[in-house]
């Protein structure tokens, strides 16, 4: 069976004047259908860069990336857009809902760009909102919703197109810890229902809710395996703590 | 998809009412100016052409100065010319103006009669309603007969004029024909006219020579040829062109309409400049809008919007702004044109063509000036756009 996501020796190099930043420095990673993977690392370690490449928002400088066996290389912007539309669902830290569109219209967006009929868009978007328990808020505007509700709307939007992979970049980053945990529980539920989820976080306690941990430091994978094998996570989790503040501070420097 | 795009554009225009209105203002002013100017100019032009069409655009007037006795353009020569070139000259008539005092009860009313030949009434485009026109016999025998317009018939005979006698400056003329109403039977209109045989008129004014002719070309295309023939004749008979003038109505009409046309063109060019400025205003606002909505564009792209989706969204928005501006401008312009027409007592109405062209132009301005900002939006890199705040 072809893996869903297959990164082979992937580099992302940003040239800034005569210095160059290796945001990704030879990443190889394979993710199968149905997995729940957390990409963890300090701020600036290259998680988002990795996520952007997996999400076809960006292309690697070097190395190969295959999504569902299809090599993502010399595609045009429009072809990448189509791949994103058909195969990927995004959940962002800032929810990224469009404020002047209603909740329903926001959820309809990926279906709209898929060229679906209006009536079908509505039906699917409503079904998707129902899954996150926000069908009643379909006619509201995002600003009328709480942070947790907005994030659930963005999850509904990610689910609407029935993507092969759901990509979540710091989905709990803007939420208080309780709402953050709710969102995580919802993602776990989605995973149990068969969805493949890739989660990016700097928060070890959040990462601990995934099934597999990929730890990145300075653009390299330093650990890839089950949650139980990751020392840092186990320490944190075992101690029952939230993300330590000093790690954030370290990342910022 | 297109409908959705349309709805999005409308929403965006409505959600920024003040800004949209200010952006549209340029287009509104420009289109208002274009519509009202074009309507006014075309009203003026049709007024002018109407005036010339009454006389007949094929008419050529020939006037010979009557100072010296030796200068003469005899009727026989003009007649010969007309006989010789029937393809070019439709006909001619001497035109002798005769002052006329008409007795109305005890009062004398000042009017004028025109001495013409048997061709004139037809050439001028009159139709005889009752009786007959001036005939060759009338001219030859210098019969004191007259053909009158409906105003004279109404005013002096209460409509029942045929066969009666009209006293013109003390001389009785028998009314042999009444011309069909052409205007409104009012004083000084085309219906206020008296025609008599030119021989009678010439005799009355004690002139042995005819100093004015009106010659009709067969059609508009032969006017120039007819003019040349007449000028050659005048040259032969009179010689010095200081003593005669040949003027074609067509030439006057053409020079007048061309003056009006170029005046109109200058005015429209000025209005067009305002439209270009308006377009730049739209471009400016669209650029601001694209920058403000960078994140939105990033979101849309991450969800699968293609370049053309973003492109059409922003072009639609710019087009919407300028189209709404155009429609408002057309409405204002039409009102202004009709109002000005009322003021000038002219029939001024915006033509359907000018409305269609104005609307198309305003749509085109939106699309043209919206294209650059829209292209900029469409080409945004999704990650950079998502990161923007
Ligand atoms: N567009 C860019 N230009 C230059 N450097 C970049 C760009 N994007 C990311 N980087 C650099 O790449 C590294 C990894 O960034 P990122 O993947 O955003 O980290 P993380 O999401 O783990 O915090 C950082 O050092 C960052 O400064
Ligand atoms: Mg990041």
How far, in Å, CA of A140 to CA of A170, rounded?
Answer: 25
**Residue A9: DSSP 8-state:** E
Q: Which atom of ligand 1 is nearest to the CA of A42?
A: 22
When pLDDT is cut at 50, 70 and 90, the band that residue B73 belongs to is: confident
For residue A85, list chain B residues with Cβ-Cβ distance below 8 A: 303-304
Nearest to A90 among B302, B306, B307 (CB): B302
What stretch of H or E contains A28? Answer: strand A19-31
- The tens digit of pLDDT for each residue in B242-281 reads 888 999 988 888 888 888 889 888 988 888 888 899 999 9
Give helix A147-160 / helix A103-113 axis angle, nearest 10°: 20
In terms of CA atoms, which chain A residue is nearest residue B386?
A96
CB proximity A102 to B under 8 Å: no
Spatial CA neighbour of B385 closest among B303, B281, B315: B303
Q: What is the pLDDT of residues B288-344, one digit of tens each?
A: 999 999 999 999 999 999 999 999 999 999 999 999 999 999 999 999 999 988 888
Considering only CB atoms, which chain A residues are within 8 Å of B304? 81-82, 84-86, 110, 113-114, 161
Radius of gyration of chain A (CA): 18
Residue reference for tokens 């020392």: A231
CA angle A229, A230, A233 (to 5 degrees): 130
Contacting residues of A for B309, CB less than 8 Å apart: 113
Report whether pLDDT(B155) > 50: yes
Q: Which two tokens stand for residue A229?
A: 């094998």
Q: Is B39 within 8 Å of B329 (Cβ atoms)?
A: no
Reported pTM:
0.73
Q: Which residues place a Cβ less than 5 A from the ion ligand 2?
A: A 48
CA distance A153 to A134: 7
* pLDDT at res. A65: 95
Candidates A12, A55, A77, A104: best to mutate against B (most CBs of B within 10 A) is A77
More confident: B169 or A121:
A121
To 5 degrees, how large is the angle CA B386–CA A33–CA A30?
Answer: 75
The alpha carbon of residue B204 and the mean position of all alpha carbons in its chain are separated, in whole angstroms, by 39
Q: How far is CA A198 from CA A31, A39, A40, A64, B296, in A?
A: 9, 7, 11, 19, 24
Question: What is the spatial distance between Cα A53 and Cα B136, in angstroms, rounded to a whole number?
Answer: 103
Q: Which tokens sit at A169?
A: 């970049």
Question: What count of Cα atoms within 13 Å lies in the side-chain half-sphere of residue B129?
Answer: 14
**Which residue intervals of chain B are DSSP H helices?**
2-15, 17-55, 75-84, 120-124, 136-141, 150-157, 198-204, 223-237, 249-292, 294-302, 307-344, 352-378, 382-387
The domain defined by A5-252 folds into Rossmann fold (3.40.50)
| Residue labelled with tokens 């000038």 | B344
Domain ranges for chain A: 5-252
Most ligand 1 atoms within 8 A of CB, residue of A17, A22, A23 to mutate: A23
Q: What is the pLDDT along chain A (253 residues), one digit of tens a residue?
A: 789 999 999 999 999 888 999 999 999 999 999 999 999 999 999 999 999 999 999 989 999 999 998 999 888 999 999 999 999 999 998 899 999 899 999 999 999 999 999 999 999 999 999 999 999 999 999 999 999 999 999 999 999 999 999 999 999 988 888 899 889 999 999 999 999 999 999 988 889 899 999 999 999 999 999 988 877 766 655 444 444 444 444 444 4
Q: What are the phi and psi torsion angles at B79 (to 5°)? A: -60, -45
Q: What angle do CA A109, A114, A118 make, to 5 degrees?
A: 65
Query: Cβ(A46) to ligand 1 under 6 A?
Result: yes
Cross-chain residue pair A78–B308, CB shorter than 8 Å: yes
What is the CA A192 to chain-centroid distance, rounded?
A: 17
Dist CA B338 CA B39 (whole Å): 9
State the first-to-last Cα distance of chain B, in angstroms, to the nearest integer.
28
Q: What CA–CA distances, in Å, run from A100 to B14, B19, B358?
A: 11, 17, 32
Per the CB < 8 A criterion, the answer to whether A159 and A186 are in contact is no
Atom 18 of ligand 1, nearest CA residue: A48
**Residue B226 CB coordination number (10 Å):** 28
- The pLDDT of residue B7 is 80
Measured distance CA(B148)–CA(B167) in Å, rounded: 13
The residue whose two tokens read 């004028």 is B112
Beta bridge partners of B114: B97, B195
């Amino acid at each position: 069976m072809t893996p869903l996501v297959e990164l082979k020796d992937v580099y992302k190099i940003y040239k800034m004047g005569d210095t160059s930043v290796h945001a990704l420095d030879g990443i190889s990673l394979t993710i199968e259908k149905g997995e729940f993977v957390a990409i963890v690392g300090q701020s600036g370690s290259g998680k988002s860069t990795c996520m952007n490449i997996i999400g076809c928002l960006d292309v690697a400088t070097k190395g190969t990336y295959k999504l569902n066996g299809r090599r993502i290389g010399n595609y045009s912007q429009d072809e990448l857009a189509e791949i994103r539309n058909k195969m990927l669902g995004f959940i962002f830290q800032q929810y990224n809902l469009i404020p002047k569109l209603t909740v329903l219209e926001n959820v309809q967006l990926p279906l709209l760009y898929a060229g679906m009929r209006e009536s079908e868009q509505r039906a699917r978007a409503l079904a998707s909102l129902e899954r996150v328990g926000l069908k009643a808020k379909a006619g509201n505007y995002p600003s009328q919703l709480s942070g947790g509700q907005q994030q659930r709307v963005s999850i509904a939007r990610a689910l609407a197109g029935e993507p092969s992979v759901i990509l979540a970049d710091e989905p709990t980053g803007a939420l208080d810890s309780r709402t953050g945990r709710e969102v995580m529980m919802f993602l776990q539920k989605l995973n149990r229902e068969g969805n493949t989820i890739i989660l990016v976080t700097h928060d070890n306690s959040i990462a601990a809710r995934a099934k597999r941990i990929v730890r990145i430091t300075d653009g390299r994978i330093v650990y890839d395996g089950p949650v139980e094998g990751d020392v840092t996570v186990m320490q944190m989790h075992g101690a029952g703590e939230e993300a330590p503040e000093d790690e954030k501070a370290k990342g910022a420097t | 998809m297109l409908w959705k795009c349309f709805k999005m554009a409308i929403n965006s225009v409505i959600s920024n009412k003040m800004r949209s209105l200010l952006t549209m203002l340029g287009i509104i002013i420009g289109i208002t100016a274009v519509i009202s100017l074009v309507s006014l100019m075309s009203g003026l032009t049709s007024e002018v052409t109407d005036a010339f069409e009454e006389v007949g655009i094929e008419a050529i007037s020939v006037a010979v100065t009557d100072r010296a006795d030796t200068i003469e353009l005899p009727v026989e020569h003009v007649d010969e010319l007309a006989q010789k070139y029937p393809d070019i000259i439709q006909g001619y008539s001497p035109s002798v103006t005769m002052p006329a005092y008409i007795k109305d009860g005890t009062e004398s009313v000042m009017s004028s009669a025109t001495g013409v030949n048997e061709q004139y009434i037809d050439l001028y485009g009159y139709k005889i309603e009752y009786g007959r026109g001036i005939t060759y016999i009338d001219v030859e025998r210098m019969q004191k007969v007259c053909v009158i317009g409906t105003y004279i018939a109404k005013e002096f005979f209460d409509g029942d004029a045929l066969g009666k006698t009209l006293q013109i400056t003390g001389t009785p003329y028998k009314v042999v024909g009444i011309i069909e109403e052409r205007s409104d039977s009012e004083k000084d209109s085309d219906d206020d006219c008296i025609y008599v045989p030119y021989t009678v008129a010439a005799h009355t004014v004690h002139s042995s020579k005819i100093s004015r002719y009106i010659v009709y070309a067969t059609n508009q295309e032969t006017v120039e040829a007819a003019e040349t023939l007449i000028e050659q004749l005048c040259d032969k008979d009179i010689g010095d062109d200081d003593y005669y003038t040949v003027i074609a109505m067509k030439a006057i009409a053409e020079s007048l309409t061309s003056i009006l046309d170029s005046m109109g063109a200058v005015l429209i060019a000025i209005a067009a400049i305002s439209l270009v400025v308006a377009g730049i205003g739209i471009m400016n606002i669209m650029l601001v809008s694209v920058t403000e909505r960078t994140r939105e564009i990033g979101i849309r792209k991450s969800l699968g919007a293609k370049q053309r989706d973003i492109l059409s969204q922003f072009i639609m928005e710019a087009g919407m702004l300028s189209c709404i501006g155009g429609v408002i401008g057309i409405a204002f312009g039409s009102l202004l044109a009709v109002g000005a027409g009322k003021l000038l007592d002219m029939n001024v109405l915006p033509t359907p063509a000018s409305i269609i062209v104005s609307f198309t132009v305003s749509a085109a301005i939106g699309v043209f000036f919206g294209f650059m900002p829209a292209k900029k939006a469409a080409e945004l890199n999704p990650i950079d756009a998502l990161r923007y705040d």
